[in-house]
Amino acid sequence: MNYVIIGNSAAAVGCIEGIRRFDKENPITVVSDEKYHTYSRPLISYLLYGKTDEERMKYRPDSFYKDNNVNTVLGKKAVSINKEEKEVVLEDNTKIKYDRLLVATGSRPFVPPMEGLDKVKKKFTFMTLDDAKGLESAISSKSNVLVIGAGLIGLKCVEGILDKVKSVTVVDLAERILPSILDEKGSALVQRHIEEKGVKFILGTSAAKLTANSAELKNGEKVDFDVLVVAVGVRPNKELIKDAGGEVRKGIVTNEFCKTSLPHVYAAGDCTESYDTVTGENRILALLPNAYMQGETAGYHMTGSEKPYDKAIAMNAIGFFGYHVITAGSYDGEEIVTEDGENYKKLVVKDNLLKGYIMIGDVARAGIYTKLIREKIPLDSIDFELIKEKPQLMAFSRADREQQLGGAH
Amino acid sequence: MKRIYVNEQWCLGCHLCEYNCAFANTNSENKCRENDMAKALKNKVINPRIRIEEKDDIHFAVSCRHCEDPLCVKGCIAGALSIVDGVINIDQDKCVGCYTCILSCPYGAIMPADSGSVIQKCELCTKNSCGEPACVKGCPNNAIVFEER
């Protein structure tokens, strides 16, 4: 049995650890177009921020591949899957045979067509370690940086570079920041906090035209810059599966065992769609925990162990300059809001279930809320008044608590 | 594996476990020596890894369950949480304080460390000089126990 994994990030590591839980013997080969030991992509902003370094941002220890009997083929891109021959073809035409294959190819930055973009010399996206290194070498304390995109990637980039440059301006077509995870009130609170650190936001507009060192915005403003970062979104790398005839929609389509429509081929991570158990929709949940757990599920199934992954939900933990945000689920339902200017909490309730929440500032014990969403715990089975006040196990019945705290889970 | 379990009906809500935890994990050289506790903790706001929940006549302690299928470890974006001989271990040197583990833990048993820039959690006193969990050792009523189940 030959296991082959295309990709070397969270989903790939999840798959390796999933396989090795049941199969300690058969060889695993990891193929990646990046040359690095597995590292955490979400940590690239912390690398620039100075909170980690290349050594510490390794996602697993140096001995990981050896400990898990993994062969690595790094710095080579997989260009196609031959499903008849059961082999992966690399860019140098090397072929790697598989019995079970995981496609964990992630996503790539989306750069929209912008007039004059080709004239900009120092332009970056912000996704990989090489992106971060390139950006770091391009900025100095004299740099004026323009970031296009006020989403998670753009704003973490801002946090990473703010202290290293002269100014940062963020432009986004949306009227508010982080619209994918926050409501209006939450967006305003986080924006205020980031603005207080010296970042300028220009929202509700976009770049009409770029020159080498300036952007003309559609609202008529002009922003001068030395360095441009484009972080407007990502696109899943689904082509390997699509070209081999596998089913894709927005992302690669998989079942509850993370199997694609191609025989013996699995997919996990940001290149796939997940079944969102809160909304009942198939959607891309580009989140590291989701990638890991999909990869692990695929790994289990490759060895013949059937453990479905059916509890995927949208969830995010993110912070900017020490101000923390935790969100989960969907915001469609009755809202219960508590706020005091600095801390903000919104619970969203529908059909006797907690469907989603936003916590900003005070995020203590948020996971108890996440559990209510993920496990679909009927709210009439707990003391909802206590749960509204704060996440606490006191809200559960004594019998339930004994079960929760009395065993290993 | 031995874990910490709670006998809720015997918990007095005395909060000694919180003090013993905070003391065991101070940087004092004389960890676990009771006579130094006052010196180490007097007039300090403690940040223990075990926490008492209480309401009316119900009290109980909550700390990491050291899950066999831990959502915090699977979700850690930095690879800073790992399972070491069954104990869920935090490498604070790798942690970047994103709080994905706080988002994930169904028990609410992970919290920011004093610095606010990394997290802390119960590691069953494996990284201090107590030998066995200080909360259990100091519990006057067997309301928290350390045993195989």
CATH number, domain containing residue A360: 3.30.390.30
A308 occurs within a structural domain: no
Does A64 map to a domain? yes
Task: Spell out which residues of chain B touch residue A409, defining contact as CB-CB under 8 Å.
Answer: 65, 67-69
Taking an 8 Å cut-off on Cβ atoms, the answer to whether B98 and A317 are in contact is yes
**pLDDT digits over B75-96, tens only?**
999 999 999 999 999 999 999 9
3-state secondary structure at position B138: helix
Mean pLDDT of B5-15: 93
As a whole number of angstroms, the distance between CA B112 and CA B110 comes to 7
| Best mutation target, B6, B57, B67, B102, to test chain A (most A CBs within 10 A) | B102
Interface contact B34, partner A, CB < 8 A: no
Residue A208's identity, in one-letter code, is A
Residue A307 lies in a domain: no
* Count of residues in chain A: 409
Q: If we measure between CA atoms, which residue out of A140, A54, A147, A74 comes closest to residue A109? A: A147
**Mutation test of the interface with chain A: which of B47, B73, B104, choosing the one with the most A Cβ atoms within 10 A?**
B104
Across the interface, do B106 and A371 touch by the CB < 8 Å criterion?
A: yes
Contact B78, B58 (CB under 8 A): no
Same domain for A200 and A171, yes or no, is yes
Q: What is the pLDDT of residue A253?
A: 98
Per-residue pLDDT, A149: 98
- A371 CB neighbours in chain B (<8 A) are 106
- Given A185, A207, A230, the domain boundary residue is A230
Please tell me whether residues A39 and A130 are part of one structural domain: no
- For chain A, the domain total comes to 3
Determine whether the interchain pair B103/A394 forms a contact, defined as Cβ–Cβ distance below 8 Å.
no
CA A123 to chain centre: 22
Residues A246 and A221 in one domain: no
- pTM, full prediction: 0.96
What chain B holds in terms of domains, given with CATH numbers, is 1-63+124-149 (3.30.70), 68-121 (3.30.70.20)
A349 and A359 Cβ atoms separated by less than 8 Å: no
How distant is the Cα of A232 from the closest Cα of chain B, in angstroms? 22
Q: Do A125 and A196 fall within a single domain? A: yes
d(CA B72, nearest CA chain A) in Å: 9
Contact A289 B111 (CB under 8 A): no
Q: What integer pLDDT is reported at residue B35 of this predicted model?
A: 61
Residues A131 and A181 in one domain: yes
Final residue before a domain boundary, out of A173, A204, A230:
A230
- Mean pLDDT over B92-108 rounds to 98
Which of residues A230, A259, A277 is at a domain's end? A230
Q: How far, in Å, CA of A296 to CA of A288, rounded?
A: 12
Q: Tell whether A27 and A89 lie within a shared domain.
A: yes
Which residue of chain A is at minimal alpha-carbon distance from B117?
Answer: A322
Determine contact: B77 vs chain A, CB below 8 A: yes
Task: Give contacts of B71 with chain A, Cβ < 8 Å.
Answer: 289, 367
- Residue A100 shares a structural domain with residue A145: no
B75 closest CA partner among B119, B126, B125: B119
Picking from A172, A181, A183, the residue whose alpha carbon sits closest to that of residue A150 is: A172
Collapsing DSSP to helix, strand or coil, A372 comes out as helix
Query: In this model, does residue B38 exceed pLDDT 90?
Result: no
Is A57–B62 a contact, with Cβ atoms under 8 angstroms apart? no
Nearest Cα neighbor of A81 from A14, A139, A31, A16 is: A31
d(CA B102, CA B96) in angstroms, rounded, equals: 13
Q: What percent of chain B has pLDDT over 70?
A: 94
- pLDDT of B44 strictly over 70: yes
Measured between CB atoms, which of A319, A391, A394 is closest to B98?
Answer: A319
| Total residues found in chain B within this entry | 149
- Is residue A309 assigned to a domain? no
* Per-residue confidence in pLDDT tens, chain A, 409 aa: 999 999 999 999 999 999 999 999 999 999 999 999 999 999 999 999 999 999 999 999 999 999 999 999 999 999 999 999 999 999 999 999 999 999 999 999 999 999 999 999 999 999 999 999 999 999 999 999 999 999 999 999 999 999 999 999 999 999 999 999 999 999 999 999 999 999 999 999 999 999 999 999 999 999 999 999 999 999 999 999 999 999 999 999 999 999 999 999 999 999 999 999 999 999 999 999 999 999 999 999 999 999 999 999 999 999 999 999 999 999 999 999 999 989 999 999 999 999 999 999 999 999 999 999 999 999 999 999 999 999 999 999 999 998 888 866 7
The parent domain of residue A130 ranges over: 117-230
Q: Which residues pair with A58 in a beta bridge?
A: A39
User: Could you tell me which chain A residue has the CA closest to the CA of B112?
Assistant: A364
Look at residue A152 and tell me if it is in a domain: yes
Same domain, A180 and A328: no
Give the model's pLDDT for residue B129: 79
Contact B103 A14 (CB under 8 A): no
Contacts of A407 in chain B (CB under 8 A): 149
Both structure tokens of A379: 């709210």
ipTM: 0.96
- pLDDT on residue B40: 79
CB pairs under 8 A between A and B: 134
* In a domain? residue A346: yes
User: What is the CATH classification number for the domain harbouring A102?
Assistant: 3.50.50.60
Contacts of A43 in chain B (CB under 8 A): 77-78, 96
A208 in the same domain as A143:
yes
Residue B34's pLDDT band (boundaries 50, 70, 90)?
low
Q: Distance from A113 to chain B by nearest Cα, in Å? A: 32
The partner residue sitting opposite B77, judged by closest CB among A40, A386, A398, is: A40
Is A236 in contact with A271 (CB distance < 8 Å)? Answer: yes
Q: Which residues of A touch B97 (CB under 8 A)?
A: 51, 319
Contact across the interface for A324 and B62, Cβ inside 8 Å = no
Note whether A243 and A102 are same-domain residues. Answer: yes
pLDDT, residue B33, reads 55
